[in-house]
Amino acid sequence: MSRLDSFIRRLEAQRACLDHAARLIADLPGNVLEFGLGNGRTYDHLRDRLPARDIYVFDRQVAAHPDCIPPTERLFLGDFRDTLPKAIRQLGQATALANLDIGSGDEAASRALARIMTPQVLQLLRPGGILISDQPVEDAALEALPLPAGIKPGRYFLQRRR
């Protein structure tokens, strides 16, 4: 498979998981967290699918398209390890959906970051909340959910907070 085909499949899987998660949280109050703003495409998609939700974004620096930059009061800039404690204090356990799009191309480093972040992300994710991740995330507080049809296992991870 070409790198282009792989990229397209990854984006299709991400979109399918985001759309599925939006339906899963339809009756669950709470905000949305986006880890990894990047170009802003996923943030823009979340705004479109969940227009009534407050969406908070985490990234090291803003490099998004100008139309896809969140308001300053919903932006946590800096290393996740530094911004997550601030978010916990500010937001509490009120998150209905968290999307971890943190893959860096270095598989070992990306998985290590997911392991480091998980305990703090769980402090933000309310019971019944959904976690989508491009990295495997394991914790007894999470229950794996089936992926939407057509997504190869291991491409994305979808879990519910117990």
Q: Tens digits of per-residue pLDDT, 2-60?
A: 999 988 999 999 999 999 999 999 999 999 999 999 999 999 999 999 999 999 999 99
Residue 147 gets which letter from DSSP? P
What DSSP string describes 31-43? Answer: EEEEE--TTSHHH
The CATH topology of domain 3-161 is Rossmann fold (3.40.50)
Q: Do 29 and 96 touch, CB atoms closer than 8 A?
A: yes
| Residue spans per domain, the chain | 3-161
Question: pTM of the predicted model, to two decimals?
Answer: 0.96
Show the tokens assigned to 55: 């969406």
